[in-house]
C-alpha cells in the first residue's frame, strides 16, 4: 500500500484493529471500517451492500479477521482482493512513509439514519484538531485516567473517539467489542470496577439498558463505579429521564450523578462538537412545549405543558456553532433553527458513488440537519432532525417526544418505538407509531397497547397518531450503530 490508497477493514478485536489502522497510516494510506454483519445478517445481502461501499471508496484491498471470516468467500466472490490480519502479521516489516496533514486518514461511513450511507472524508488535520479539543474538553489526565469502551469501531464515536484519540495521546484504554457488551451488559460494570475506569461513553439507549440490568441482575456493592468521573452520553438524542434513571440505578454502586455528561457530535466534525462541563452532570433546560412547537422559541417554563431537554455543553475549542432559520438568518439565543458548525475538525465533504460531494457552504459552515438552539450560557440543545419533524396545524412535533411517550406503555420494549411521518409536506400531514412487543401475537394485548400508546402520545404532543402498529421484536429498522431508521419504517405502519 502507498499514499492515497484506500483500505477497507472488517474485524472485531480492537487489539487487531489498532495495529491495522496504524499500519495503514504508516504507509500513507487511509482506512474505512466496514459496517459489520451480525449473527442474524444475510451474508449474501450484506456482501452486495458492502461491495457497493467498497466500490465507492475505491478500496485496493479488504482486510478481514475474526469473527467475520465467514464473509471472506462472499467478498472474494465479488472480485475483491481479501487478506487476513493473520497473514499480514506473518510478513516482515516495511518502512513507513510520510503523510501530510491534509491527506486522508479515514473515510468514515455515515450511519445512514436519514439516507443512504456515504463516506465522510477525515484528514489527519481533522483528527488531530478534534483530538486536541476533546483532550481539553474532557480535562484528560494521562497519569490517572483509564478509558473503558465497548463502542463499535465502524462508528465515529467508537473508532475516532475511543481508539484513535487514545492512541494519539498514549492513553490507557480498556476496549472490548460491542458483541461482548450485548452478550453481557454488566461486563461494562465489571471492567470499570476491575481497571478503576474513570472515563467511558455510550449512546442514550445503552445507558438505559445498563440501568435496567443494574436493577435486575446486580447486587448492591457488587461493582464499584465510584472511580467513573466522565461518562459521555452522545450519538443520539439524550433523554433526561434516562440519565436520571441511570443515576438512581447506579447509586448503590457508587456512580456519581455528576459523572454523566451529555454531548453532541457527528462524523462530519470528526466526532465531537460539544461536551458538557466536567463535574456538571446533566443540566436540563425545561421549556414551554407549545411555544417551542408553534413559535420555535425555547422559552424557559416549569408550568403547563413543558418539554425537558438535555443541554449538551458549549462548543469545543476550535469550533463555532450558530443557529439559522430557513432563510439562513442567524437566530438569537433560544431561537430554534438549524444547527451549523464551522472549524478545523469539520470535513470538507464526502466520497459518494457520484464522486466528491462538498459539505460546506462558501463561508465554511456545515449544515448538520439538526434543529436546536443555544442557551444564555452558550450550551447547545438539540430538539430533533429537520427531516423527521412532523408539522401538524402549524406545530412542530418531534418524533422523540412521540417515541418516549409510546415507550411508557407496559408491554412496549424499551427503545423500540418509532414515529413515522405520513404525507410529508401536504396539508393532511400526520404520523403513525410502530412499537415492538413480546405479546405481538396476543390480539387482546395488542388492542390494549394500541389504545394506551395513542392515549400516551396524545397526552404528550396533543395530537393523535393515525395508526399504531404492534410488531414482533427485531422488526423496527435501525442503523448499524442502533439509531432508528424512521424513513425506512413507513412500510410497517400502513396508512
Question: What's the pLDDT score for residue 27?
Answer: 93
CA dist list (Å): 146 to 95, 168, 174, 217, 379: 32, 15, 7, 25, 27
Pairing relationship of beta strands 172-175 and 146-149 according to DSSP bridges: parallel
**pLDDT at residue 303 in the model:** 86
Instruction: Please report the pLDDT score of residue 346 as a whole number.
Output: 96
Residue listed under C-alpha cell 461486563: 187
Q: Which CATH class is domain 389-492?
A: alpha beta
* The pLDDT value given to residue 352: 86
Give the β-pairing of 337-343 and 6-10: unpaired
Q: Which residues pair with 435 in a beta bridge?
A: 417, 470
pLDDT of residue 114: 41
How confident is the model at residue 41, as a pLDDT? 66
* Stretch (H or E) spanning 146: strand 146-149
* The Cα angle at residue 149 between residues 133 and 384, in degrees rounded to 5: 65
In the chain, which stretches have pLDDT less than 70? 38-41, 43, 111-117, 425, 427, 479-482, 494-495
Q: What is the model's pLDDT at position 115?
A: 46
Q: How is the chain split into domains, by residue range?
A: 6-99, 128-386, 389-492
**Residue recorded with cell 490517572:** 144
Q: What is residue 71's predicted lDDT score, i.e. its pLDDT?
A: 79
CA dist list (Å): 163 to 28, 74, 176: 19, 28, 11
CATH architecture of the domain covering 6-99: 3-Layer(aba) Sandwich (3.40)
Q: Which superfamily is assigned to 128-386 in CATH?
A: ANL, N-terminal domain (3.40.50.12780)
Please, what is the average pLDDT of the chain?
Answer: 88
**Which residues make beta-bridge pairs with 255?**
none
Backbone angles phi, psi at 205, to 5 degrees: -65, -35
Secondary structure element (H or E) that encloses residue 253, with its range: none
Q: Is 6-99's fold the same as 128-386's?
A: yes
Alpha helices by DSSP H, listed for 252-340, are: 289-294
DSSP 386-412: GGG-EEETTEEE-HHHHHHHHTTSTTE
Amino acid at each position: 500500500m502507498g499514499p492515497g490508497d484506500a483500505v477497507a477493514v472488517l474485524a472485531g478485536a480492537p487489539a487487531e484493529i489498532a495495529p491495522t489502522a496504524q499500519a495503514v497510516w504508516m504507509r500513507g494510506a487511509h482506512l474505512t471500517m466496514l459496517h459489520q454483519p451480525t449473527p442474524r445478517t444475510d451474508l449474501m445481502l450484506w456482501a452486495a451492500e458492502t461491495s457497493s461501499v467498497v466500490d465507492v471508496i475505491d478500496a485496493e484491498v479488504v482486510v478481514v479477521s475474526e469473527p467475520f471470516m465467514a464473509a471472506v468467500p462472499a467478498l472474494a466472490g465479488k472480485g475483491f482482493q481479501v487478506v487476513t490480519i493473520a497473514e499480514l502479521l506473518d510478513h516482515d516489516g516495511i518502512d513507513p512513509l510520510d503523510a501530510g496533514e491534509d491527506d486522508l486518514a479515514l473515510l468514515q461511513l455515515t450511519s445512514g439514519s436519514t439516507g443512504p450511507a456515504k463516506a465522510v472524508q477525515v484528514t489527519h488535520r481533522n483528527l488531530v484538531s478534534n483530538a486536541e479539543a476533546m483532550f481539553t474538553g474532557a480535562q484528560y489526565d494521562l497519569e490517572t485516567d483509564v478509558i473503558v469502551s465497548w463502542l463499535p469501531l465502524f462508528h465515529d464515536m467508537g473508532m475516532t473517539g475511543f481508539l484513535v484519540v487514545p492512541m494519539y495521546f498514549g492513553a490507557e484504554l480498556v476496549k472490548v467489542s460491542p458483541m461482548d457488551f450485548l452478550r453481557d451488559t454488566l461486563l461494562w460494570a465489571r471492567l470499570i470496577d476491575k481497571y478503576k475506569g474513570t472515563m467511558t461513553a455510550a449512546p442514550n439507549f445503552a445507558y438505559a439498558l445498563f440501568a435496567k440490568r443494574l436493577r435486575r441482575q446486580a447486587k448492591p456493592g457488587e461493582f464499584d463505579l465510584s472511580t467513573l468521573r466522565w461518562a459521555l452520553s452522545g450519538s443520539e438524542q439524550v433523554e433526561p429521564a434516562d440519565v436520571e434513571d441511570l443515576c438512581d440505578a447506579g447509586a448503590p454502586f457508587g456512580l456519581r450523578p455528576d459523572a454523566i455528561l451529555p454531548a453532541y457530535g457527528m462524523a462530519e466534525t470528526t466526532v465531537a462538537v460539544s461536551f458538557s462541563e466536567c463535574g456538571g452532570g446533566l443540566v436540563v433546560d425545561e421549556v414551554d412545549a407549545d411555544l417551542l412547537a408553534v413559535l420555535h422559541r425555547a422559552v424557559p417554563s416549569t408550568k403547563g405543558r413543558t418539554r425537558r431537554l438535555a443541554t449538551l455543553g458549549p462548543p469545543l475549542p476550535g469550533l463555532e456553532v450558530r443557529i439559522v432559520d430557513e432563510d439562513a438568518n442567524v437566530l438569537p439565543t433560544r431561537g430554534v433553527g438549524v444547527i451549523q458548525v464551522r472549524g478545523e475538525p469539520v470535513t470538507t465533504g464526502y466520497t459518494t458513488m457520484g464522486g466528491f460531494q462538498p459539505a460546506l457552504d462558501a463561508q465554511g459552515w456545515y449544515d448538520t440537519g439538526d434543529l436546536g438552539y443555544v442557551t444564555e450560557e452558550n450550551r447547545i440543545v438539540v430538539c430533533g432532525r429537520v427531516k423527521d419533524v412532523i408539522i401538524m396545524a402549524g406545530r412542530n412535533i418531534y418524533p422523540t417526544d412521540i417515541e418516549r411517550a409510546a415507550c411508557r406503555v407496559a408491554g412496549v420494549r424499551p427503545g423500540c418505538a418509532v414515529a413515522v411521518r405520513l404525507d410529508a409536506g401536504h396539508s393532511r400531514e400526520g404520523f403513525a407509531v410502530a412499537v415492538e412487543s413480546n405479546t405481538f401475537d396476543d390480539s387482546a394485548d395488542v388492542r390494549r397497547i394500541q389504545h394506551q400508546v395513542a392515549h400516551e402520545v396524545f397526552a404528550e404532543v396533543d395530537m393523535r397518531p393515525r395508526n399504531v402498529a404492534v410488531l414482533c421484536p427485531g422488526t423496527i429498522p435501525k442503523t448499524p450503530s442502533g439509531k432508528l431508521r424512521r424513513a425506512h419504517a413507513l412500510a410497517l405502519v400502513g396508512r
